[in-house]
Structure 1
Amino acid sequence: MKQDIRKLTAVQLKDWFAKNNQQGFRAKQVHEWLWKKSALSFEQMTNLSLPTRELLNEHFEIRSLTVDQQQRSNDGTIKSSFRLFDGNLVEGVLIPALRTDARDDGPSDRMTACVSSQVGCSLTCKFCATGYMDRKRNLDAAEIYDQVVAIDRQAKENYDASLTNIVYMGMGEPLLNYKNVLESVDRITSPDGLGMSPKRITVSTAGIAKMIRQLGDDEVKFNLALSLHAANDLKRDQIMPINESNTLEVLGDALTYFYKKTGTRVTFEYILFYNFNDTLQDALELWKFTKRVPAKINIIEYNPIAEASFKNTDPQTLDKFAGFLESKGVTVNVRRSRGKDIDAACGQLAGKK
């Protein structure tokens, strides 16, 4: 099997060209084609001679993903099923934002890519469709990068606009694929890559305390979101088994460490489930927990899945919950679901057609 050329570093690529009696600057040209111009084949590398392209094709391949299926929601959201080189499928979503709520921040022309980091997931969160799948493998950095490129292309073709934001909130737990996720962010943000600002990127975690601390040690520049959904251990244990080994106290300490190292405000994601975590007592517990670090709270509409019996809370309860937090000086954004009719909304990605 040919080697995946995108597994090579810039230094390794330069060494390979030298060993094959090729001029050194060719490595820089190839690197630019791969990560800045997002080339899908060596034939596209038109500033390389034909013999050089043939030599590359003889030894390497570009294992780019392809769009297996694409669906468009009534609200304009586009969900794509991406076929990987080994036949596995992951899903990514283009979310063209509409400002529909006074608490919903951001410009109306926001174009967000929601990307996956794993094939399946191992965390078994009870409200998430991906959690009912087996984790087959981690995505490599290039596969995550390819999702961004493909979704950006969709934004340009359908909305005549480029991506403004990227969220690692698709299939999988990003911090259990730490190395590849950080490498993909580097490819996306590097001047030698897509050149996007890291402040436009948010990595979401269900709460892996050890890796949150590692993010602090690495002084990452992107945003961090914690899928919280309950601010006491008893309730969180019921819906997120990861909490049994990463309790709220442990998570709180890790978040404090992360903020001390990076100075980046944390986002807490909170789905309001009917008659489970939507009381004013729950709001009080949430406020007390979020006081540990400068933060904002995204209240997310629950999106039903066949595997679970949870229900979305009613609008009046949501308003009271959000109003209580705002009365405490907390920044609260209410996130309305997008793409629910095509199973593209938060928690619904599971490779279904």
Structure 2
Amino acid sequence: MLTTAKQIDIRSLTLDQLKEYLVQMGEQGFRAKQIYEWLWQKSVTDFDQMSNLSKSLREKLKEHFSINCATIRQSQVSSDKTIKNSFTLHDGNVIEGVLIPTPDRMTACVSSQVGCSLTCKFCATGYMDRKRNLNADEIYDQVVLLSKQAEQHYGIPLTNIVYMGMGEPLLNYANTLKSIERITAPDGLNMAAKRITVSTAGIAKMIKKLGDDGVRFNLALSLHAANDEKRNEIMPINEQNSLKALAEALRYFYAKTKSPITYEYIVFHHFNDGLEDAKELAMFCKHVPCKVNIIEYNPIELADFVNAEADKIEAFAAYLREQGIVTNVRRSRGKDIDAACGQLAIKEKTN
């Protein structure tokens, strides 16, 4: 629903700010906590659903505020049961999020921006423009909708959330952290922070800020090359955030949080799949306690990268394990519907 100029997005307010508005409207301040519970704990999207409020108060809320909720525009189910969703936002912009069921977990992959500004050469979202940051409530809505989808389709509650969809979460820092605060708060969705992973392409100063803010969620770095020349080639962000700068930021983050890092590494055919590349990655892993997730590359039309051959990937992983590095080889989910890592670009099915 598009809002009028006089309406305020009610979920952009803190509890204290909402209390102030209610008092100014001649209402009792304690109603703010009730409204907050309806919005964040029960995830209602209509003031009329707030059944313990008087009708007159609900009418006042409708007059002064809006609930700018995201809605599912389209869903596609993969042969491996992954569900890709496009979401329509209140202003008509569209983003994507993915529900990923595996035998041991049910994961929501959410977006943090409409598009992306980082232009990573292997990622479909990187070829889109960044239109705007998502508000905290728009990130929260994706989690709520994917959680409902998990229950409806598979009868299993959400176990994990990854900020690995469209956009760079650390370039939308305040809204990313506020969304996590609402997702983990007792008067919100009450999920454990350790079940949330934020993935970054590597913004050194913001990684340090995460340390200063003492965050409790997991941090993943999309590394893909432990060599500045190669990383510059595929991830232009590296030109301002070199591996040396990132290593320093990660050491700072770890010193502040004692939270190990996950490195995400796509092994591209004849680019970063050799023994020398594995050695460089093993050296980079010495900076802080960490693990490595080797990710299968998911081809996109706009780039000509190819996934490394299976034996190369296994040899790469074996070398890292020999060095004592915890290494997982992740198989892609949802490739057949362009829902896999790096494929999100608002490519919807047509009837």
TM-score (norm 2): 0.97
| 2:142 match | 147
| 2:76 match | 71
| 2:45 match | 40
| 2:316 match | 321
TM-superposed CA distance for 1:23, in Å, is 1.8
| 1:224 match | 219
Distance in 2 separating the partners of 1:240 and 1:223: 22
| 2:123 match | 128
Deviations 1:46-104 (A, max 9, x none): 1111111111111111000111111000000000000000000000000001xxxxxxx
| 1:242 match | 237
Deviations 1:169-203 (A, max 9, x none): 00000000000000000000000100000000000
Distance in 2 separating the partners of 1:168 and 1:24: 35
What residue ranges of structure 2 are gaps of 5+ in the alignment?
A: none
TM-superposed CA distance for 1:20, in Å, is 1.5
TM-superposed CA distance for 1:15, in Å, is 1.0
The DSSP-based 3-state class of the residue aligned with 2:175 is helix
Distance in 2 separating the partners of 1:137 and 1:265: 31
Deviations 1:126-166 (A, max 9, x none): 00000000000000000000000000000000010111000
Alignment of 1:60 onto 2:68: no
Within 5 A, what are the aligned runs for 1:183-222?
A: 183-222=178-217
| 1:104 match | none
Letter in 2 for 1:60: F
| 1:167 match | 162
The DSSP-based 3-state class of the residue aligned with 2:85 is strand
1:22 to 27, 34, 39: 27
Distance in 2 separating the partners of 1:217 and 1:334: 32
The DSSP-based 3-state class of the residue aligned with 2:333 is coil
Distance in 2 separating the partners of 1:332 and 1:52: 55
Letter in 2 for 1:123: L
| 1:101 match | none
Q: CA RMSD in A?
A: 0.6
Distance in 1 separating the partners of 2:70 and 2:188: 18
The DSSP-based 3-state class of the residue aligned with 1:112 is strand
| 1:311 match | 306
Letter in 2 for 1:249: K
Alignment of 1:286 onto 2:281: yes
Distance in 2 separating the partners of 1:239 and 1:72: 30
Deviations 1:4-53 (A, max 9, x none): 11111100111111112212221110000001000111011011111111
Distance in 1 separating the partners of 2:28 and 2:300: 56
TM-superposed CA distance for 1:109, in Å, is 3.2
Letter in 1 for 2:119: T
1:85 to 84, 90, 93: 90
What residue ranges of structure 1 are gaps of 5+ in the alignment?
A: 98-107
Distance in 1 separating the partners of 2:81 and 2:104: 12
TM-superposed CA distance for 1:311, in Å, is 0.3
The DSSP-based 3-state class of the residue aligned with 2:187 is coil
Distance in 2 separating the partners of 1:26 and 1:182: 26
The DSSP-based 3-state class of the residue aligned with 2:181 is helix
Distance in 2 separating the partners of 1:122 and 1:61: 29
Alignment of 1:258 onto 2:253: yes
The DSSP-based 3-state class of the residue aligned with 1:123 is coil
The DSSP-based 3-state class of the residue aligned with 1:172 is coil
Distance in 1 separating the partners of 2:104 and 2:41: 24
Alignment of 1:5 onto 2:10: yes
The number of residue pairs the alignment matches comes to 343
TM-score (norm 1): 0.97
